[in-house]
């Protein structure tokens, strides 16, 4: 009997490996399209000497699905929105023999992870983490109690470094450091938290230094599609003597080049003073052959009856700016053109005093816009700017506003809710666009900044001096500022309401008023989200911008399912981590069934629909499906 069972199990294992071989061979017959490093980063790889379990003993084998020739293959074509040609790694994968056993697949996964680490080593992406500590509300469930915000630049070279954009002061600094210690691993030395792999790099990689068979057991679980990408799923467990802080969880590996595209789990065996958080880390295929870390969701807390939480929070981490410095260096000499110059102005003469003042302001405006974009804090011009520009134009035309220069709109890449204007450019943050429920609310926000421009509240003329642009990216917030005095803020509110009443949005301000009320209700627990770093406060000490519109709105009722006052973070705009471009999320609406589904201003998990580079399906990072709303007006921004 035992002999018969052994034969059956042996035949089953060979069947699974045969199916894998057929699938991988079919994939190998496609044209090679994912160039990679010819020389992977040094890694000690042993043949599968330690007994590895290719499949779990239970019925976890993938169903015998034949290889499909139409499986998304990377196409060597530049994406439409690419700002510059990314550095192309040398080809290596083309000459590799497709793996035919699960052990060979694991070896390929390890090799690809090492090559990714080498590819990213010269990169210095921006890392933003927004965290909400939670408390239980009997009606709405877990809601924000307070929040924290971190923004920095990470050096992914061999000696990992991190520099922060924000500077804490006094008690707030101590409070942020304490939370940062917990968030990044509970280490007592801040230098190690920020500058060693024990920090956010643990959430970017499964194990930056020791991702190999000597430290981990790989257990095949199943196949699974993540968006358009078919994946092999493995459970990783650290070996008994692997040491502290090893990854424990699950990885998803795309089945063409065997890159890790998702990690979900935590880090095992913390010592007495360590506390590791759970994380769900996603990667996107934004350059040929590589899947770069893009999003991390972290969550802790148990709100079941009788549970006692030492800590309860939800946090989103975004990474972008991978190609900032390398693109700038390469473009410097490739975009030089020499043209003849001819003065076509009607009268070739010196500028009048007023014309000179306006030219000076425009020079300052251009300097600021260019510097913010080079720092990774301002998205390149794109389709979202056109949507914002349309709203501004509607207000200008219906109010017969004529300005000497056109008004421009741009998107700040960060999450805190803020707006400001410099010269004739209105800047609005990605996070604020995310949470606005409809086009009328967007018009309210833009009208306030347009009013500053119309009233001549010009700020930033000092930035026309180019020496003021010579500072590090990390000190941007210490060198720029566009805050108005209270009298100018009050005048802008009054003028904005006047313009809105004469605009196409006059009958669409009810939801805008509800947004003001919802923000006022949640403001005490969202101090970091509402803390402006360049412009003026939207809410401060109970005082709200555009409060008159909020006063005329109906009562705020969380239980009214069709009353959508604000959206969760991440519901509107997606940010490309490679070139910093932004676009509107195209997500299917999901029915709201209870007040807990609304989640205004809240953090939610990431669930991007994965696709391969060059397939035409741009990766879209959207919140969990329950975050979208069924209110017809709530999708106006995305549809216009």
Q: Cα–Cα distance between 137 and 13 in angstroms, integer? A: 51
HSE of 413 in the Cβ direction (CA atoms, 13 Å)?
A: 30
Contact 45, 108 (CB under 8 A): no
For the chain, the C-alpha Rg in angstroms (whole number) is 27
- How far lies 589's CA from each of 142, 159, 508, 563, in Å? 23, 45, 21, 15
290-300/313-320 β-pairing: antiparallel
Per-residue model confidence as pLDDT tens digits over 548-591: 999 999 999 999 999 999 999 998 999 999 999 999 988 888 89
Which of these, 282, 316, 275, 283, lies nearest to 299 by C-alpha position? 316
Q: Cα–Cα distance between 388 and 396 in angstroms, integer? A: 13
pLDDT above 70 (res 359): yes
Per-residue model confidence as pLDDT tens digits over 160-169: 556 777 765 4
- Percentage of the chain exceeding pLDDT 70: 70
Mean pLDDT, residues 425-444: 96
Residue 295: other Cβ atoms inside 10 A:
24
Instruction: List the strands of the sheet with 425-429, edge to edge.
Output: 408-412, 425-429, 419-422
User: What per-residue confidence (pLDDT) applies to 434?
Assistant: 96
The separation between CA 139 and the C-alpha centre of its own chain, rounded to angstroms, equals 30
Mean pLDDT, residues 248-252: 97
Q: Cα–Cα distance between 222 and 72 in angstroms, integer? A: 19
Contact 610, 284 (CB under 8 A): yes
Mean pLDDT, residues 275-303: 92
Element (H, E) at 134: strand 126-137
86-100, 131-145, 335-349: which is most confident:
131-145
Say which residues have a Cβ less than 8 Å from residue 613's Cβ, sequence separation at least 6: 34, 74, 75, 79, 285, 286, 287, 288
Higher pLDDT, residue 27 or 323 = 323
User: What per-residue confidence (pLDDT) applies to 107?
Assistant: 96
What tokens appear for 107 in the block? 């070896």
| 93 band by pLDDT with thresholds 50, 70 and 90 | low
The separation between CA 295 and the C-alpha centre of its own chain, rounded to angstroms, equals 6
pLDDT above 50 (res 397): yes
Contact 216, 239 (CB under 8 A): yes
Q: Cα–Cα distance between 322 and 392 in angstroms, integer? A: 32
| 157 band by pLDDT with thresholds 50, 70 and 90 | confident
Place of tokens 């209105």: 426
Which residue ranges form the domains of the chain, and what is each CATH number? 31-51+103-325 (2.50.20), 354-639 (no CATH)
What tokens appear for 545 in the block? 């911008």
Element (H, E) at 420: strand 419-422
Higher pLDDT, residue 414 or 276 = 414
User: What rounded mean pLDDT belongs to the chain?
Assistant: 78
User: What per-residue confidence (pLDDT) applies to 160?
Assistant: 54
Q: Cα–Cα distance between 290 and 254 in angstroms, integer? A: 11
Per-residue model confidence as pLDDT tens digits over 465-498: 999 999 999 899 999 999 999 999 999 999 999 9
Per-residue model confidence as pLDDT tens digits over 299-327: 988 888 878 777 889 999 999 999 986 55
User: What per-residue confidence (pLDDT) applies to 468?
Assistant: 93
Give the three-state DSSP class for 338. coil
Least confident of 89-103, 208-222, 336-350, 616-630: 616-630
Residue 556: other Cβ atoms inside 10 A:
17
Give the three-state DSSP class for 300. strand
Give the torsion through C-alpha atoms of 211, 214, 215, 216, to 10 deg: 80
Helix residue ranges, H only, 55-186: 102-120, 170-183
290-300/161-164 β-pairing: unpaired
| 141 band by pLDDT with thresholds 50, 70 and 90 | very high
- How far lies 207's CA from each of 160, 259, 270, in Å? 14, 14, 15
Q: How far apart are the two ends of the chain, measured CA to CA in Å?
A: 69
Contact 275, 266 (CB under 8 A): no
| 267 band by pLDDT with thresholds 50, 70 and 90 | confident
| 617 band by pLDDT with thresholds 50, 70 and 90 | low
Residues of the chain by 3-state class (helix, strand, coil), percent to 5: 35, 20, 45
What tokens appear for 144 in the block? 């924000």
Q: Cα–Cα distance between 453 and 434 in angstroms, integer? A: 24
pLDDT above 90 (res 226): yes
Bridge partners of 606, per DSSP, are 623
Q: Cα–Cα distance between 56 and 76 in angstroms, integer? A: 37
20-34, 51-65, 217-231: which is most confident:
217-231
């Amino acid at each position: 009997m035992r002999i018969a069972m052994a034969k059956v199990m042996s035949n089953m294992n060979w069947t699974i490996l045969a199916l894998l071989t057929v699938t991988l061979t079919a994939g190998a017959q496609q044209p090679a399209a994912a160039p990679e490093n010819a020389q992977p980063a040094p890694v000690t790889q042993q043949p599968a000497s330690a007994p590895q379990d290719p499949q779990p003993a239970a019925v976890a084998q993938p169903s015998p699905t034949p290889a499909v020739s139409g499986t998304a293959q990377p196409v060597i074509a530049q994406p439409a929105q690419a700002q510059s040609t990314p550095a192309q790694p040398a080809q290596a994968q083309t000459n590799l023999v497709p793996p035919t056993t699960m052990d060979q697949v694991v070896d390929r996964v390890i090799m690809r992870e090492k090559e990714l680490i080498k590819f990213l080593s010269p990169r210095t992406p921006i890392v933003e983490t927004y965290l909400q500590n939670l408390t239980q509300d009997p009606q709405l469930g877990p809601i924000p109690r307070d929040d924290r915000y971190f923004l920095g630049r990470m050096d992914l070279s061999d000696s990992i470094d991190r520099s922060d954009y924000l500077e804490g002061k006094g008690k707030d600094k101590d409070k942020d450091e304490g939370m940062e210690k917990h968030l990044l691993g509970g280490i007592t030395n801040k230098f190690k938290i920020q500058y060693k792999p024990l920090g956010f790099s643990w959430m970017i990689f499964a194990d930056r230094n020791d991702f190999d068979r000597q430290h981990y057991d790989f257990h095949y679980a199943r196949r699974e599609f993540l968006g358009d990408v078919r994946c092999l799923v493995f459970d990783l467990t650290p070996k008994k003597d692997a040491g502290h802080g090893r990854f424990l969880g699950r990885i998803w590996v795309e089945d063409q080049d065997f890159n890790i595209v998702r990690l979900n789990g935590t880090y095992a065996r913390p010592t007495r003073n360590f506390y590791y958080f759970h994380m769900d880390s996603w990667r996107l295929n934004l350059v040929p052959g590589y899947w770069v870390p893009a999003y991390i969701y972290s969550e802790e807390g148990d709100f079941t009856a009788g549970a006692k939480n030492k800590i309860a929070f939800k946090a989103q981490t975004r990474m972008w700016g991978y190609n900032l410095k390398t693109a700038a260096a390469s473009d410097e000499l490739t975009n030089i053109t020499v043209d003849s110059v001819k003065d076509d102005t009607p009268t070739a003469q010196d500028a009048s005093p007023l014309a000179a003042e306006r030219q000076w302001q425009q020079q300052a405006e251009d300097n600021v816009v260019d510097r913010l974009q080079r720092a990774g804090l301002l998205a390149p011009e794109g389709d979202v700017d056109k949507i914002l520009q349309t709203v501004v134009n509607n207000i200008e035309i219906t109010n017969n506003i004529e300005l000497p220069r056109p008004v421009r709109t741009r998107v700040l890449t960060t999450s805190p809710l803020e707006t400001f204007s410099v010269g004739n450019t209105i800047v609005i943050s990605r996070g604020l666009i995310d949470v606005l429920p409809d086009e009328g609310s967007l018009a309210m926000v833009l009208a306030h900044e347009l009013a500053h421009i119309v009233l001549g509240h010009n700020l930033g003329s000092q930035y026309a001096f180019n020496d003021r642009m010579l500072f590090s990216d990390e000190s941007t917030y210490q060198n720029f500022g566009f805050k108005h005095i209270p009298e100018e803020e009050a005048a802008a509110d009054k003028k904005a309401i006047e313009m809105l009443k004469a605009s196409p949005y006059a009958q669409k301000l009810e939801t805008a008023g509800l947004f003001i009320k919802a923000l006022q209700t949640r403001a005490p627990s969202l101090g970091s989200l509402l803390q402006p770093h360049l412009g003026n406060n939207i809410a401060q000490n109970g005082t709200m911008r555009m409060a008159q519109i909020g006063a005329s709105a109906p009562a705020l009722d969380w239980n009214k399912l069709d009353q959508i006052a604000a959206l969760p973070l991440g519901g509107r705009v997606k940010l490309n981590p490679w070139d910093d471009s932004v676009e509107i999320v195209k997500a299917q609406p999901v029915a709201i069934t209870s007040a807990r589904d609304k989640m205004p201003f809240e953090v939610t998990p990431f669930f991007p629909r994965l696709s391969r580079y060059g397939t035409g399906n741009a990766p879209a990072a959207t919140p969990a499906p329950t975050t979208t709303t069924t209110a017809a007006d709530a999708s106006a921004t995305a549809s216009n």
